[in-house]
Structures are given as C-alpha cells and as structure tokens.
Amino acid sequence: MAKDKRISLLKVTSMVIIINLLSKITGFIRDFITASKFGTSVSADAFSMSSVVPNIIFAILGAAIVNTFVPIFNDVIVNKGEKRAFKFSNNVITVLTLLSIILTLLGEIFCPQFVKLIAPDFHGYKYLLTIKLTRIFLLIIIVNTWVFLSTAILQAKEHFLIPSLIGIPYNLLVIVYLLFFSSKYGVLGLTEVIVFAMFVQFLIHVPSLARMKYRYKPEFNISDGYLKSMVVLLIPILLGTSVQQITSLFNGRFSSSLETGSVAALSYASRLNSLVMDIFVISIVTVIYPKMTKLSSENKIGELIESFNISIRSITIILFPIITIILIESVPIVKILFQRDAFGNKSTLMTSTALFYYIIGIIAAGLREVLCRMFYALKDTRTPMINSAITVLVNVVLAYYLKDVLRLGGIALASSIAAYVSSILLFIKLNSKLKNINYRKTIGVTIKVIFASIGMGIFLKVLYQIVGQALLKKAIIIEIIGFGGITLIALLIYMLILYLMKVEEINMVSAFLYKKIKRG
C-alpha cells in the first residue's frame, strides 16, 4: 500500500477513534444519569427487562447485516457497476424491512407471553409496565434495520465519519430528556425518546446517502442471485453470533454461584473491556473492512494481505500499551469510574480483579476481529461460525474449572484463554487458505512493541509504587489528574521507544503531526 494511502487511512482511522471515544463518553454520562434518576426501582427493572430483546437483536443482526452486505455490495460494484449495486441495496432494504415488520407484529401480538417467559417473577404493575415498554421498544427492530443498512451502504462506499458520529446525538437526546423531562414522564417517556433517537440516527445518514447519489426505490426480488449470496453468508454469522451469546449466559450462571456482587462485578469489568474494544479495535476494522472486501472482489490478494497485516500491526501498537496500563492501574481505573455510594472498596477490588484477567486476552480478541473480517472479505462465513462454537466450548469448560481456583478472576481468565485459542485456530486456517502470507514485518513490529511496552510498564510500575497508594487516598479530581499524568508520561515514553526503534507506523504519525504543527 502506497505511503499516501496509508496516511489517508491513518487520518480516517484516527477520526473514527476520536468520534467513537466521544460517543462512549456521552454514553457513559447517559447511563450514569439514568442510574441516578431511576436507581433500582420497579420502573428501572421493567425498563431493563423490556430492552432485553432489542439488545439481543442489535448484537446479532447488526453485525451480520454489515459484515455480509459490504462484501456483496463491493462485488456487485466491481462486476456490474454502481447502478446495479444500488438496485441490490434497494432490494435488501425492502426485504429486510418487510421481515422486520413481521417480527415486530409477532412481538406485539405475543408480548404478554414473552414477558412471562423472560420475567416469570414479574407481577401486577411491574408486569403490565414491562409489557407496555416492550411494545414500544419493539418498534426499534424496524428503525434499526434502516440504521444498519444505511450504515452498511455508507461504509461500503468508504464513508465512515457519519456512521461513527450517530451515537453522539442519540446519547445527547436521551441525556436532555433525563435532565429535564424524566421526572414528569418517567421510563415510559424515556422508552419513546430512545425510539425517536434511533430514528434520528437514520435521518442523519440520509444527507450523506443523497450526496453519493443514492436514492431508495422499492425493489422486491427474492430470486435475486446477489440477495441469495448475502443470505448464504448471513446465516453462519447469525448462528455464530447467537452462539457467542451463550458465553455471557454461562458466565452469569457461574458468577452467580460465587460471593454476592460477583455478577455485577463481572458485568462492570466486561463493559470496560468492551469499551476498549469498541473504541480502538472496532474503529480500525470498520475502516479497513470495506477496503479488504473491495480488494477481495478485485482479486488483489497481495494488497488484501498487506491490508490485513497493517490491521494486525495497528491493533498490536494500540492494544499492548493499553494492556500494560490496565494491568498496573486496574484498581485506580475502576475506583475513578465506579466507586460511588453503594459501590465501595470491595466492589472496586472485585471488579478490578475481573478486569485484570479480561484485559490479558484483549489482544487476542482484537486479532480475532480482524481475522473474522478477513474471512468475511473472502466470503467465508462458515469458518468464523465454527470457530465461535469452539471458542464458546473452551470458554465454558475453562470457566467451570477456573472459577473454583481463581473465583471471579477465573471466569474472566477463561474468556481470555478462549480468545487466544480462537485467534490461533483462525490464523492456522487462514494460512492454509492463503499460502503466501508474509508475517515477517508484522512479527518484527510486534517484538518492538512488546519491548516498548515492557519499558513503559517498568516506568509506570515504579511511579505507581511511589505515588499510587497516596493518590488513591486523595479526592477524586486529584486521582484523575495524578493517574492521568502518570499514564500520559508512560505513553510518551512508549511512543519515544518505538520512534527510536524506527517503527514505520509511529514515524508516519510523527511526520503527520509535525506537518500539522508546522502549518498551524
């Protein structure tokens, strides 16, 4: 890949990471205010339970639509042109909209029975409120189908910033409601605002779609060959993602057998782990995936492999220092973010223990994301599906035994080990599928990154030993400034070591920033 293209990729990826970070910050504020407004009341229970189905559908259907639509869309563009690709898009939108309407209607009809199934202990007012809120939430199935598909079209055409941006106005709309209207309209109004905010997400996409001369015109052709190809790819992803949900169920079941608070602590730690994944890893694969699918459709396997290696190096460079920081500072990180009121020192220690063991496997989880996208680009969704099933089996078996050894940490460690098993198996399969992958440069960069992370870690550990315990006894703002400053200095040391070791990606960042500063 040419240097100017890599710089352009760097700029776009950096912007997507920044936007995702802002989105996660506003999302954290949204959740914090929601908790402060509704606490653990009957309304909060009803609201949480009513959102179960939409959340599961988002997790399963969203990724499946984007990951299958993009490679087929690029394939149509390469072979048939943009006009045919837009026609294919219209057909997909029509078919999936009709399916989502059918699912919504079935949900509305059988809502009472479903609520009884997922919340058998809900009775009286709580039961009736949960049904009412669920019926409103079910409308999100239709709206989110449009959001997913419009996102997929924009990403396929390499428009990344607007799809990344839509989480911010969504969060702001909910925050405004919580601050100014929640006391009057309660969770019922909150549910309605969430549905409206989802629709706003779709509306934000419309101008970008119009600028690329896309117009929706109803198409309905279930015999379309490209639609059938998408369905063939879609089914394994749906099955694979569904299987992954089993891990969360088992982890919750295992943690519930431990001391009180273990379920919540594991959930908080998992959310922090997912936060790192969403901000950094998903940002990288979001930008690189459409390029990979396009190169695959054009049969440019050499460039596809280079893009794959660039993704691996990028994730390695970003995640290793984050792993080092969290391994050393897991306690202050959890304390600063969560320790309030009922969340005391014990809760902090339990959550930080789980986070410590979760973060060990985040590099493997990040590599797994890239590897899965590589297989999707090659139109192979069966391999990731089988891999997901194996990963869940390894995770569940290890968690069952390790929970008795390391307690809460054992469940988190099981997930980390399973992620490494998953990545190794995917690497083996990919190497048998593509014989000419050269990892020499990637391995060299990884060794330098590990060396730089060790150097940064030693510095951070020494500083933490000197001032860390003292900072933990200070006011929250002092903790944030103190640990933030220590971490920033450590990251600068990490970057300096990589720069001195002439890691190309760091040199590109340095040159890019130098030009910006010189112009400014």
- Please give the helix or strand (H or E) that residue 350 lies within, else none: helix 345-359
Measured CA to CA, the distance from residue 237 to residue 459 in angstroms comes to 43
| Residue 243 confidence (pLDDT) | 67
Say yes or no to pLDDT of 230 above 80.
yes
Dihedral (Cα; 156, 224, 378, 145), 10-degree rounding: 50
Which pLDDT band, with edges at 50, 70 and 90, does 162 fall under? confident
The per-residue pLDDT for range 248-283, each reduced to its tens digit, is 767 777 776 788 767 778 878 888 888 899 888 888
Long-range contacts of 329-334 (CB under 8 A, 24+ apart): 329/460, 329/464, 329/468, 329/483, 329/487, 330/355, 330/356, 330/359, 331/472, 332/468, 332/471, 332/472, 332/479, 332/483, 333/272, 333/483, 334/268, 334/269, 334/272
The two counts, helices (H) then strands (E), for the chain are 23, 0
Average pLDDT along the chain:
85
Give the pLDDT score at 98: 93
Other Cβ atoms less than 10 A from the Cβ of 2: the count is 7
Span 8-30, pLDDT tens digits: 666 777 788 888 888 888 988 88
* Interior angle at CA 495, CA 489 and CA 497, nearest 5: 105
* In the chain, where the domains are located: 1-222
Q: How far apart are CA 149 and CA 157, in angstroms?
A: 12
Predicted TM-score of the model (pTM): 0.83
pLDDT tens string 164-194: 888 899 999 999 998 898 888 888 999 999 9
Whole-number Å distance between alpha carbons of 386 and 244:
11
- pLDDT average, residue stretch 486-508: 87
Model pLDDT, residue 130? 84
Tens of pLDDT, residue by residue over 78-131, are 889 989 999 999 999 999 999 889 988 988 898 888 788 766 777 888 888 888
Instruction: Return the number of other C-beta atoms located less than 10 Å from residue 183's C-beta.
Output: 10
**Does pLDDT of 4 surpass 70?**
no
Alpha helix (H) residue ranges in 464-503: 469-471, 476-500
- Least Cα distance to 479 among 315, 322, 332, 380 occurs for 332
> Is 313 in contact with 297 (CB distance < 8 Å)?
no
Q: What is the pLDDT of residues 291-344, one digit of tens each?
A: 898 898 888 998 999 989 989 998 999 999 999 999 999 988 988 887 776 677
Query: What is the pLDDT averaged over residues 55-63?
Result: 70
